[in-house]
Amino acid sequence: MLLPFPSTTTEPSGLTTQTILSQLSRDEFIDIACKLILRSRKKSANSHHHKYLVGATTYTQNEEHKTYLSLANKILKNLRRAGYTSHDTVGDGNPTVHGEFRALYRMPGNVLLGCNTPLCGNCMKSAIMRGVEAIFLDADSMPGAKDENDEVNPWTQERADLWNDLCLPLARAAQIPIYVVDPEKKKVSILVTGLPPDQRPKPQHPVEILTPAELQAYQQDPKHFLDKENNVRRVIARARSVETGEYFYLHAQDSYPPGFDEIEGTRMTEKFKDAHYHFTLDPVIHIAMVAAQHGMKLENGKILANFIPSSGRQLDLAYVGIEELYYTENHVPESQDVRHAMQTLSKHNAIHYESLPLYQGFQKILNGHTLPENEHTP
């Protein structure tokens, strides 16, 4: 049997941050674990998918409320209206936004994540970037409980390989605990051991919340930060606190996931190169997850990237309400899949893409937010 994390964790500043898990008794922990799975199972029936019926649930609590949010795999609204189904493709996948991503973006603060089936590689990375305290999976859906002939959430060989070679190593390296839950027997067992969020390894390049001085430096010499120097993908976006309405500027760049150094990161990048898959953390998803963690939402029209995200991540961006995406000039999307997604999403008014000279792009995201005059001439 498992034990929740130690009762408190202390930050270097001396402040004490309480995790959800540290506040739960053993019985409460088991109760919440079971509810995460039961709610996810129920919600999975609403999935817009013919085979992968996925329901995901996030949980958070404060002194007054215990809050669950359950969401399923959904086809992006604009595409659904245009008649798209999960048998169609947009870029390198079908047009669904995964339930895990939806539930992680929409629930602010510290969260636990439950799912009725193990996460795909992208959702595992989203959970890691989001800093979830723990992941809970349905015992009925684990490899071995299902095989490739199952009609719902089957384990194909490809899926099993990705789970074993990518998802589990990601969780282990990031020290995110994974529990397997059998709600009928009220039994919870540990699949991957982990640490509380503040004691885990950090990603190679964490998302930065920029100070006014740093923001000014970007504005004065944006090329330095946003040019495609060494093929590093970068993004700057404005996010707004849901509670106070305050603006923040966030910067993210390509980063190996937490726990992967240059050698291991390079090895994994090579290994998954042919799988339509970037091993590094996608900068746009990274800022979306960190914004959610801090109770912020990304602002439409306030995102500037030096790359076009993969087709699946473009769907995610459209889902989080980014209808305008600016990218730096002279950027040619690297793959047919990425271009196909851009054409589809722009045709159905989901995302409007605009290529801009760097300085102008920067002005667009700063628009309405005054910074001191600078000497830069475009």
Residue span 81-120 as binding mask against Zn ion, x where in contact by CB under 5 A, dash where not: -----------------x---------------------x
Q: Which two tokens stand for residue 326?
A: 């600016």
Question: How far apart are CB 176 and Zn ion at their closest, in Å?
Answer: 15
Check if the beta carbon of residue 162 is closer than 8 Å to that of residue 16.
Answer: no
- Which amino acid, one-letter code, is at 265? G
Question: How far apart are CB 245 and Zn ion at their closest, in Å?
Answer: 32
Q: Which residue has the tokens 């690297």?
A: 334
Question: How far apart are CB 156 and Zn ion at their closest, in Å?
Answer: 15
The values of phi and psi at residue 226, to 5°, are -110, -10
Question: How far apart are CB 327 and Zn ion at their closest, in Å?
Answer: 25
Question: How far apart are CB 247 and Zn ion at their closest, in Å?
Answer: 30
Cβ burial of 214 (10 Å; 0-12, 13-18, 19+) is middle
Question: How far apart are CB 88 and Zn ion at their closest, in Å?
Answer: 18
SS3 217: helix
Cβ proximity to Zn ion, 98 vs 234, nearer residue: 98
Cβ proximity to Zn ion, 99 vs 222, nearer residue: 99
Question: How far apart are CB 206 and Zn ion at their closest, in Å?
Answer: 23
Question: How far apart are CB 122 and Zn ion at their closest, in Å?
Answer: 5
Check if the beta carbon of residue 99 is closer than 8 Å to that of residue 74.
Answer: yes
Alpha helices, H only, the chain: 26-44, 77-81, 99-106, 121-130, 157-162, 168-174, 212-220, 222-226, 262-271, 283-293, 311-319, 336-347, 358-366
Nearest-10 crossing angle of helices 121-130, 99-106: 10
Cβ proximity to Zn ion, 98 vs 348, nearer residue: 98
The answer to whether residue 123 forms part of the interface with Zn ion (CB under 5 A) is: yes
Residue span 326-345 as binding mask against Zn ion, x where in contact by CB under 5 A, dash where not: --------------------
Residues 171, 179: Cα–Cα separation, whole Å: 12
SS3 141: helix
Cβ proximity to Zn ion, 53 vs 366, nearer residue: 53
First to last CA, the chain: 62
Cβ proximity to Zn ion, 168 vs 232, nearer residue: 168
Cβ proximity to Zn ion, 120 vs 174, nearer residue: 120
Cβ proximity to Zn ion, 104 vs 120, nearer residue: 120
Task: Please work out the total of residues on this chain that contact Zn ion, with binding judged by CB under 5 A.
Answer: 3
Residues 44, 46: Cα–Cα separation, whole Å: 5
Q: Which residue is nearest to Zn ion (CB)?
A: 123
Cβ proximity to Zn ion, 119 vs 237, nearer residue: 119
Read off the DSSP letter of residue 259.
T
Which stretches of the chain bind Zn ion, using CB under 5 A?
98, 120, 123
